Structure 1
Amino acid sequence: MSDVYLLCYPSAVVSALSTAVDMLDIANTLASMQSRRRATAAPFRWRLAVAEPQRWQALASVLRCTCVPLEELAGAGKDAMVVIAPPLFDHIGGLEHMLSRLDRERAAIAAVAARGALVVAPFTAVALLVAMDLPAQRKLAVPWLIANWMQLSEPARRLQADQPVVKSGNLLSSRALDRMHALLLQAVAHTAGNALARTLGNALLDQPERGETVNIWLKTGDAQRHSVALRARRYLQQHLAEPYDLPRLAAVASTSERTLLRHFMKTVGMSPLQFLHQLRAERACHLLEVSTLSLTAIAEQCGYQDMSAFRNLVRRHTGQTPGAHRRAHSVRAELRAGGGA
């Protein structure tokens, strides 16, 4: 388990820390779905590091963590991570005044960075690293908001202005706040491995080709709230691993089989059985991408005892075998619990 310290101080952009917590929490959840990690602790545990812990208890409660003094951060080991909240200021003079009051915070960062811990500085948080005694080869991202000030405060060799996210040794920085997710994905990769980072990215980042699929579904239109088709859809969604039973489905929808088929085709654009296949294929792809369950276990969760039928389902939906889809979109093959293509 990696200890993550969320460094906060007065006039900091607290939402950046909240974003970090949400991503780490999701990473823990995804890790728990990988069979080899189930018997181990979650990969990340975070805490709020501040100069006056009593003052920040409310924020610690919101972030679902404990509040610790800066001395604990300063004493953290090389496997730790510190995420620095960016400062909020209205002019460079205000930034410099703020930095003059953060000597303890900067000293704690310097101490933990010297031990090799990962330092994550989104957006203007890089200001806390400026003029710090760091290895000469370490580079920093350059937010446009403080670019001139950084140029006057740091040698040019330390500034990497052409990249939105800069990884330099144990320093990770970004030039804009909207790169927070990309920054944290690299932090997860550095700390917990590329496999978990890739799975996290698949879950969180935009995937235009999948958006097109959703758009096609939306164009078919929604059924009426209490319609026959809607009741049938909900039942299939909740029982997709069970054998297809048209009489049972018609009974749930309070109609005849013939009427159900007609209404379903009209509102959904496909038969109930085709819709069930679609649901099963989507669940199969999801489990292939975010879990390390064997193919046999995934097939069973999708209602298939026959592996040949399961493979055909995934191939029709994705154009790939289950194993090929997993290799293309999910964790590394060596993390899988078992099963072939």
Structure 2
Amino acid sequence: MNEPFTPTAIHRTALRPLSLPMPPLPHCHIDIPLLPQTALGHALHLVECLRSANLLARLRSGPAAPGIRWRFCDARGEPLAADSLGPFIAPLAHEGAFTGPATALLLAPLHCPDIPAVRAATQAHTALVRRIGIAVDQGQQVISVSNGAWLAAASARLDGRRVALPWYYVAGFVRDFPGIEPAPAQSLVQDGPWLSADVATGSIGIALALTRQAMGPETAEALSAAAVADPARSHAAHSAAGQIPNTRDSTLARAIAHLEKTLEQPYCLADVALAAAVSPRTLLRHFREALGHSPLDHLHGLRCARARVLLEITLESIPSIAQACGYSDPAAFRRVFARHAGMAPGAYRERHTLRAPRQRWRVDATPQP
């Protein structure tokens, strides 16, 4: 079984879409085929990422915010009855349900032990492969994760495109589909109608791309802040709560720990040097040589990191946040923040906030539409 995979049983045309990025979507309705070989957990992980995007959109813009919908279906495209999916998946199916045509088709990873098994699964689902070709012809987006790319490529509509693939599939994929170019060292690739992720953990990247298309860059950035690991933001959030322990014993570590502990207090170089057990001149030299800036510059960075967190997750006023970050003068805070963040605090909050405007919050819970 070392011959190249040729989908001779599958309808082919010479149609090749232009290599252009996908335009913004007026809405995003995704069909998710469930095959016997589908790695169901990975498909559900993407659904959970999309649920998070919808939740953030509602928090930011209220119940009328645009959302992403999904629908589980069989290989022929027939929707699967939610109640047939079991008590744990049925609620997800009900939540994402939509009627009418889809705008995208998600090809989840196939749970296969090797490349021959992936080929066999692809050959066993010619109905789905035909449907993928029709979807491309109709302007729908095709989304593949890991070896789900085999199903997309077999449609014969994506020759000349680039695809993200795990390294261990590249040799076999190129042999089967020499007209499609794997993108080296790229975990997520958008080439015209084809959005691909190399590994199953790329679900968050796909969710971010779909959120950006369907809801705009601000909601996508909010989802990234909430779902993508960010050590700097996590450190700032803990620091704001006074929970950062001193885990290192060096001049810089002692100085930075002191700056974090006294972040909201007036800056005094002599006090920082005393905490680090060196002279002020020596402390300045350590910072310049190791970090390329002064202790005061570092303090401004720490304060602005805390300010970002507070702007994102609270409704406190700019003067209150300035005070919590060690600036008694709100104007000075605005200047420093703009220098570090590239925009004023109010503009940053508007773009990155995870909270809805104050008037949308209620003291007691209200049913969500």
Asked if Structure 1 and Structure 2 have the same fold, meaning a TM-score greater than 0.5 normalized by the shorter chain, the answer is yes
Matched with 1:195 is 218
* Aligned partners of 2:136 and 2:142 also within 8 Å: yes
What residue is the counterpart of 2:94 in the other structure? Answer: 65
Change (3 A) 1:174 1:85: same
Name the residue aligned to 2:138: 115
- Give the 3-state SS of the residue equivalent to 1:100 in structure 2: helix
- The one-letter code matched in structure 1 to 2:344 is A
The number of residue pairs the alignment matches comes to 264
Query: Judging changes above 3 Å, is the alpha-carbon distance between structure 1 residues 329 and 167 closer, same or farther for their aligned structure 2 residues?
Result: farther
Aligned to 1:20: 46
Which SS does the other structure have where 1:83 is aligned? strand
CA distance in 1, matches of 2:37, 2:180: 30
| 2:132–2:155 CA contact under 8 A, matched in 1 | no
Q: Is the 8 A contact 1:84 1:125 kept in 2?
A: yes
Residue type matched to 1:50 in 2? D
Cα separation, partners in 2 of 1:125 and 1:282, compared to 1, 3 Å: same
Deviations 1:56-108 (A, max 9, x none): 5226415343799xxx8xx725xx22222110111222222211221222222
In structure 2, the CA distance between the partners of 1:135 and 1:326, relative to structure 1 (3 Å rule), is: farther
Q: 1:214 to 1:314 in 2, by over 3 A?
A: closer
- Asked whether the equivalents of residues 50 and 56 of structure 1 are also in contact (C-alpha less than 8 Å), the reply is no
Aligned to 2:157: 134
In the superposition, the TM-score normalised over structure 2's length comes to 0.59
| AA at the equivalent of 1:209 | A
Q: Distance in 1 between matches of 2:357 and 2:237?
A: 30
**Take 1:93 and 1:328, find their aligned partners in 2: how far apart are those partners?**
50
Cα deviation for residue 26 of structure 1 reads 1.1
**How far off its partner does 1:13 sit?**
0.8
Matches of 1:309 and 1:67, distance apart in 2: 40
1:142·1:159 contact (CA, 8 Å) conserved in 2?
yes
Segments of structure 1 that go 5 or more residues without pairing to the other structure are: 222-268, 271-280, 291-297
1:147 aligns with 2:173: no
After alignment, is 121-130 or 181-190 more displaced?
A: 181-190
Q: Distance in 1 between matches of 2:157 and 2:192?
A: 11
Q: SS where residue 161 of structure 2 aligns?
A: coil
Which structure would you say has the larger RCO, counting Cα contacts within 8 Å and 6 or more residues apart? 2
Q: Which amino acid aligns with 2:106?
A: V
2:222 aligned with 1:186, yes or no? no
2:233 matches 1:213 = no
Deviation at 1:31, TM superposition (A): 0.8
Aligned to 1:331: 351
Residue in structure 2 matched with residue 264 of structure 1 by the alignment: none
Q: 2:69 aligns with which of 24, 28, 45?
A: 45
Instruction: Name the amino acid aligned to 1:57.
Output: L
1:11 aligns to what? 37
Match of 1:331, SS state, is helix
Query: 1:133, CA displacement in angstroms?
Result: 2.3
Displacement after TM superposition at 1:329 (Å): 7.3
> 1:86 is matched with which residue?
109
Higher-helix-fraction structure:
1
CA distance in 2, matches of 1:287, 1:33: 16
CA distance in 2, matches of 1:201, 1:133: 34
Question: In percent, how many aligned pairs have the same letter?
Answer: 18
Equivalent residue number for residue 255 of structure 2: none
Residues 84-140 of structure 1 deviation map (CA, whole Å, 9 limit, x = unaligned): 211011122222221122122222222222222222211111111123222544221
User: Equivalent residue for 2:127?
Assistant: 104
- Matched residue type, 2:62: R
Q: How far is 1:331 from its partner?
A: 2.2
Given that 2:166 and 2:198 are in contact with CA atoms closer than 8 Å, whether structure 1 keeps it comes out as yes
Deviations 1:219-260 (A, max 9, x none): 569xxxxxxxxxxxxxxxxxxxxxxxxxxxxxxxxxxxxxxx
